[in-house]
Structure 1
Amino acid sequence: MTPRDPRRRPAARASRRALGAVLALLLAGATAGCDVQGLLPGAEPSRDATPAPFPDSSLTSVGAWLPGPEAGRAADGAEASSAAPGPSARESASPSAAPSSSRPASGEPSPSSAAPTGAAAPRDPEEAAAFAELAGLPDLTPLLVPSPEPAVLGPALDEALDLADGEMSAAVVDALTGEVLYDRDADEPAAPASAVKILTAIAALEVLGPEHRYTTSAVALPGHVGAKEVTHVVLDAGGDVLLGTGGNGEEASGRAGLGTLARRAADRLAEEGTTGTVTVRVDDTGYAGPRASPDWSPDIVTSGNASVVQPIATYGGRAWPSTATDRLNDPALYAAEVFRDRLAVHAARKGLDVVVDDGVERLALKGRGTELAGVESARVAEQVQYMLKASDNQVAEATGRNVALAEGGRGSFEGAAAAIERAVARLGVDTEGLRLVDASGLSGENRVTALQLTGALQAAATDPDLDTAATGLPVAGRDGTLEQRMVGTPAEGVVHAKTGTLSEVASLTGTVETGDGRQLLFSFIARDQPGVLTDARLAVDRGAVLLAECGCRRDE
């Protein structure tokens, strides 16, 4: 398995995101006709509404806040936005505005919820879109859609997230401005279960790039079995654990087929005039360290939640392309056996004067041999989406190791965890208290805060290279691990979220469009549960449904 150089992302993107967030806050404040200083870093929240910072509604006044042409050139190329579409026609609920026991980020209701007292800012969606394009910023049009008011949202969510046992950590954040609308122990590190996969997805997209593909190769190597000369055909693992057993397929799982690889290898053996005995071997030495985490529950592998972690497997460590089938005990050796059978068939069809030996063993190439053929996986973006939708632990662990190797680290549990943490930190997420021990979330020793999860999602949702980590999440009532949840509720079709389940944890982290059409990010982590997770799952689902149906403003 050959490491690759990590993809280097332009630094201008981070600065453009930051500039976009500042201008988003300014426009949000102007729309409400209020002072936005309380939303800016290091400023105390404003207690009184003041006139809008823009004296008129023209884009010219907003343009005064832009940097000069040089800055515009540094941020060359406008980014597409994953923010919410325009206002929705769905009806919205009107929760009570009783005082909240949650604590908004500022400790006071958001300044953007104040009543207008000054001149209106740009409210025409076409003008807002034109301004954003001119500035090379994410689309700011969604800011014309009202955001929930913390004073109204808080008590409603307090009630929705109520638990009979255990504790709840929760954060709700405006996707475009980054304003924290709801904070309930949101900076308390907790085990978020499979929500860790969101961080793994973002790291893969950030380091490897969404278009990267893994290559699985067949390599010819002269050798001996006893005194007999043979040709070893070595299956060189390239980090793809979603190989198919037949020809190349259309889906992410099975895109690269061992049958296709065997046919291409047989063609090349024929061209080379190979004769005699051919043996099949597999080189799966690309990963390091234990193949099952010491931080996992002892039954994780035996229960089929994951197989031992290796850099090659079919269908996520399964013999068949269904997530309902059992995991394999040795995915790498199984892949080699499938390849051996397909190679024998194709060699016979081509009339090669070879005998493909029945035995399959491991053999480290160590840079030796001649490549016969290769097959490429689905793009990383597609594999990441598959991982998120199916909550596939095997794909998550392999992906984490592939990220570590791309950065020149070790393909181990520790190497993957460190690489993911670094990738998240590079995106500007505050990683204080963040501690990962795996890439799948199977360990109860992982520690992540709700605000770190929403912060990572915000970075993903505003960057076209990373947005699969947000758009690829399961959709409530439609697909993936949310297919049977929130069916027939306002959340169906508009909540995209990653589920998380451990023996004492139920979590839900993702994006939602409010009843007014505003895009929010949320993370709910119900922890210290007594073992039966029904109450906790219902609570996090209630929270998501509330966000989907709630405009949560005092004027409703």
Structure 2
Amino acid sequence: MPHHPPRSPRRALAALAAVGAMLAAGCAGEAVSVGPDRAAAASSAEAPGTRLTTPVLSARRAPELLRAAITGQRLHDALTPLLAEAPPSSCLVVSAGGRVLLEKDPDTPVVPASTLKLLTGVAALETLDPGSHLTTTVQARQAPRDGVIDGDLYLIGGGDPLLTTDGYKVTFENPGQLSNDFGQLADRIAAAGVREIRGGIVGDESRYDQERWIPTWPQRYQREGYVGPLSALMVNDGSTGLSLAPNEPARFRRPGEPALLAAETLRTLLEDRGVRVAGAPSIGSAPAGATVIATLESPPVWDLVGEMIADSDNTTAELLVKELGVATRGEGTTRAGLDAIATELAQLGLPAAGIELRDGSGLDPQDRVTCSLLVAALDRAGPDSVLGRSLPVAGRSGTLRKRMRDTPAEGRVRAKTGTLAEVNALAGFVETDSGATLTFAYVINGPDQPRGLLPLDELATALVTAPGGPPVEHLAPRPVGT
């Protein structure tokens, strides 16, 4: 859906009032040239015994515009006290059906935090095949003979960000978070008849580059577990402490070498299934023409995007960026992927002026987007799209499951959260008491965050309960009188 230029509700009401005044003064005299529909109405008015109750050029001839203007004014009046508390470096846009109803600095670039994942999701769903999978593959130089692989077994990463074992799943804040059981791959190798590997397990992460961390990220992200060390071959987000006991919770975890840890984890899982592995795990590249022994597909791309949005998974976001680089430029790099996002936003006609992308997760404090762009991206997708259905639901799911409980917003606000040291953000959809669906983005920047998350939740709740415009049928042209 194209982005409409911002329109102040006060300006819209003033324009409608001016049109009404003009019509009241001028419609009684001279004839007006009109199109076929208007001509039919005019001829009806000229028939004996009939008259137009509503002038041809009345504001009532555009009831949707009139209703939007009234709704915008009522929203403005209801939300002004909340906006007065927002720091200067913040932005807000509220729209209905693509028409802006309320705005504050809509085109000012701000730090978006994790609301940036909305743009990564849009680009991934538009550029990649949403129903496709990222496949982890196991190969050997030759097919097994009598259950024996006479050499190394190659574990080739396909970019799946959700490979996990039971020992890691227990750490999820959301117990229902989507994951992909890495043990299935060991099951399939054993099911292929492999009983012995006379070499070792070699981890191949060559699909993407080996840049583990975005250079501009704060160092604390590495030790605090915000994101894993990025690789095309990752199990358990590249965490140590699990590779020798994958299904046991690890007391101490830290970022490690993801491809090597994945190879060691597979070795452990195979031995647990009675498959002997003679050699040590290592990192390398699979030889050309090797034989496929087993594969494990990721959930489809639309589910990867959904998991990224619902649980604000930074690792998933960054691996999707690298996959976008592979798809558009043949380069599994962050830079290529970010260029793909910017290109896709431009091709979709979204208002991307002034944005700066350093990553795809929103972790980087140098990222910049606008509220106009966030709302335009949401409006284009719509609440019933993959993106819209993936959004956390207030009081019920994802990163909003503990927020806005027992308020009018519970179950009626679906939005992406965003939080950094000096950033709080919320962007998504609201189902209002009046039956409308509103799109909104509210991003607060600055050290003086007013009362933590409350302004965001208060705004979302106010949108649910804010008075809407009168029904369209009350604003439409009146029937022809007699």
TM-score by length of structure 2 reads 0.77
Match for 1:540 among 456, 462, 467? Answer: 456
Asked if the contact 2:259–2:283 (Cα under 8 Å) also holds between the matched residues in 1, the reply is no
Contact 2:124 2:320 in 1 (8 A): yes
Change (3 A) 1:506 1:365: same
1:113-512 correspondence to structure 2 within 5 Å: 117-118=60-61, 149-163=71-85, 165-174=87-96, 176=97, 178-221=98-141, 230-245=150-165, 253-255=178-180, 257-268=181-192, 270=194, 277-288=198-209, 290-317=211-238, 328-348=255-275, 355-357=276-278, 359-365=280-286, 367-461=288-382, 467-512=385-430
Paired letter, 1:336: A
Cα distance change, pair 471–162 in 1 and its aligned pair in 2 (3 A): farther
**Which consecutive residues of structure 2, in runs of 5 or more, have no partner in the other structure?**
5-11, 28-33, 41-56, 143-148, 170-174, 475-482
Q: 5+ unaligned residues in a row in structure 1: which ranges?
A: 1-16, 23-37, 59-113, 122-142, 223-228, 349-354
Q: Contact 2:113–2:425 (CA<8 Å) still a contact in 1?
A: yes
- Check the 8 A contact 1:529/1:536 in 2, yes or no: no
Instruction: Decide whether the 8 Å contact of 1:511 with 1:521 is kept in 2.
Output: yes
Tell me how far 1:375 sits from its aligned partner: 1.1
**Distance change (3 Å), C-alpha of 1:280 and 1:45:** farther
Helix, strand or coil at the partner of 2:329:
coil
User: Structure 1 residue 120: deviation in Å?
Assistant: 7.9
Match of 1:519 in 2: 437
Q: Percent identity?
A: 31
8 Å contact 2:222–2:255 — kept in the other structure?
no
Q: CA deviation at 1:157?
A: 2.1
* SS of aligned partner of 1:535: coil
Residues 160 and 148 of structure 1: CA distance in aligned 2, closer, same or farther (over 3 Å): farther
Distance of aligned partners of 1:383 and 1:164 in 2 relative to their CA distance in 1, 3 Å threshold: closer
Residues matched between the structures, number? 418
Q: Which amino acid aligns with 1:500?
A: G
CA distance in 2, matches of 1:554, 1:167: 34
Alignment partner of 1:182: what SS? Answer: strand
Question: Which region of structure 1 is more displaced relative to structure 2, 183-192 or 257-266?
Answer: 257-266
Question: CA separation in 2, counterparts of 1:119 and 1:192?
Answer: 36
CA distance in 2: counterparts of 1:402 and 1:435, whole angstroms: 20
User: What amino acid is the match of 2:456?
Assistant: V
Per-residue CA deviation, residues 69-112 of structure 1 (Å, 9 max, x unaligned), is xxxxxxxxxxxxxxxxxxxxxxxxxxxxxxxxxxxxxxxxxxxx
**Contact between 2:94 and 2:438, CA under 8 Å: does it hold in 1?**
yes
Give the conservation status (yes or no) of the 8 Å contact 1:239–1:398: yes
- Report the AA paired with residue 156 of structure 1: A
Q: Equivalents in 2 of 1:151, 1:534: separation in Å?
A: 25
CA displacement at 1:496 relative to structure 2: 0.5
Against the structure 1 CA distance between its residues 332 and 159, is the aligned structure 2 distance closer, same or farther, given a 3 Å change threshold? farther
CA distance in 1, matches of 2:17, 2:379: 25
RMSD: 3.7
Asked if structure 2 preserves the Cα contact closer than 8 Å seen for 1:161 and 1:540, the reply is no
Q: In the aligned structure 1, how far is the partner of 2:287 from the partner of 2:376?
A: 41
- Structure with the greater alpha carbon radius of gyration: 2
Distance 2:159 2:137 in 1: 11
CA deviation profile, 1:2-34 (whole Å, cap 9, x unmatched): xxxxxxxxxxxxxxx56xx99xxxxxxxxxxxx
CA contact (8 A) 2:325 2:334 kept: no
Alignment of structure 1 residues 64-103 onto 2, 5 Å:
none
Mapped contact 1:396–1:439 kept (Cα < 8 A): yes
Relative distance call for 1:550 and 1:172 in structure 2 (3 A) is same
2: CA distance, partners of 1:191 / 1:368: 47
